[in-house]
Amino acid sequence: MALPLYYNWRNLQRRKLSTTLTFIVVTVVVVVLCVLLSFTAGIRASLAATGTNLNLIVLKPGATAESTSVLVPDEIGRLVQTPGIALGSDGSPLMSRELCVQTTVPRRLSARDKEPAPANVAIRGVDPIAFDLHREVRIIDGRSFQSGTMEIVVGKAAHDRYEHTNIGDEIVLGRMENRIYKVVGVFDAGGATFESELWAPRTSISDSYLRRFDSSVVMRLQSVAATKAAVEFINGPTVQLEAKPEPQYYEDLSKKTQDIVVLSTILVSIMAMGAIFAVANTMFATVDGRRREIAMLRTIGFGKWAILVSFVVESLLICVSACSVGLVLSLLAGGVKQDFLSDTTWTVLAFEMKITPGILVAAFMLSVIVGVFGAITPALRASRMRIIDALRKA
């Protein structure tokens, strides 16, 4: 038979200082875990929301991202022969030639900034057909740009973060920083990475940045079943380029977040070890301070198991309640918009930190592990205490 929960709860209040310090340690570990996991979950969610399996992205072989890829017109010309390529309403292949360049734009001023910090931002030069292929992209404010003009539309996340991205604003771009583009619209892309970009007519960007060649081609297939044949054709001797389904391309980009996950795991594991020692220290002090109480409970008929469970429960009460507070603090941080500088594209990916149910479960499990592992040795000592020794030394 177990000891009542109120016995453990009130005992925690006997050692307010050590209980509070242990509580704080576990709370910090939970918050750090949640922040790190929500950081990677946010990046992954943003990258995972980008692209469809019906689209193939074609790059130069060996290029790790659009920013390092250059396609010459001859190569692009051969792509129209790709088997399974979808045709538009006018009968022409659904292919979007895209030119990606990077530029720096000032961030919007926050309360703590004295002057706007620059950020590396991706500009995508596209033709109007791009909107037929990237169907998740929708203008939510203003209108789209007109071909051949110096108009630009901005992604929702970019609009939130960067200066001169309101509709009607003028933004200075170009290799010589001498081309003035007018912002005419804001677009949403369902959380995809495109939301961190600025989109303008391809020919205008090509001219502004003196870039004669495109970075990539996105093509629509008639069906997902056509993917294999299309990829083999493009990767083969006829075209000699490299094609990937869009989701795979963005997943490959997100692989860098694996490193963050590994580092996070190492960091959180070290902190959790510290928390386990903190809990163990508190529980050892608790056991030593209650020797005669334990002896009395064993004398009147509580078994070893009841004593062991009681001390583990006491530890879990600290850890689980600390976890609850840590989760509340983390949920308050959830939804905070963050930037991540991709080391593949060298552009800023804007994303929202996401506290997912998986993260909540992970935090809870961590607190339980800390509670159980921290308590088990002191609890074993308490349960194995020789009754008559404890009574004599009391």
Site track for another protein across 183-222, x = CB under 8 A? ----------------------------------------
Q: If we measure between CA atoms, which residue out of 157, 153, 155, 156 comes closest to residue 169?
A: 153
Q: If we measure between CA atoms, which residue out of 2, 15, 9, 6 comes closest to residue 284?
A: 15
Contact 28, 267 (CB under 8 A): no
Binder among 180, 328, 336, 388 for another protein (CB under 8 A): 388
Binder among 160, 252, 292, 362 for another protein (CB under 8 A): 292
Binder among 118, 135, 299, 343 for another protein (CB under 8 A): 299
Distance (Å, whole) CA 304 – CA 212? 80
- Cβ proximity to another protein, 1 vs 225, nearer residue: 1
Contact range with another protein by CB under 8 A, out of 4-12, 119-127, 148-156, 241-249: 4-12
- Cβ proximity to another protein, 295 vs 375, nearer residue: 295
Coil/strand/helix, residue 93:
strand
Distance (Å, whole) CA 205 – CA 121? 14
Binder among 56, 297, 317, 382 for another protein (CB under 8 A): 297
Contact range with another protein by CB under 8 A, out of 34-42, 148-156, 266-274, 299-307: 299-307
Based on C-alpha coordinates, what's the Rg of the chain? 30
- Cβ proximity to another protein, 214 vs 314, nearer residue: 314
Contact range with another protein by CB under 8 A, out of 82-90, 177-185, 373-381, 383-391: 383-391
Site track for another protein across 302-321, x = CB under 8 A? xxx-----------------
325 binds another protein (CB under 8 A): no
**HSE (side-chain half, CA atoms, 13 Å) at 241:** 28
Contact 96, 124 (CB under 8 A): no
Distance (Å, whole) CA 340 – CA 338? 7
In this structure, the number of other CB atoms found within 10 A of the CB of residue 77 comes to 10
Binder among 63, 129, 261, 296 for another protein (CB under 8 A): 296
16 binds another protein (CB under 8 A): no
Cα–Cα separations (whole angstroms), residue 347 to 158, 198, 243: 12, 12, 22
Binding site for another protein (CB under 8 A): 1, 3-4, 6-7, 10-11, 13-14, 292-293, 295-304, 387-388, 391-392, 394
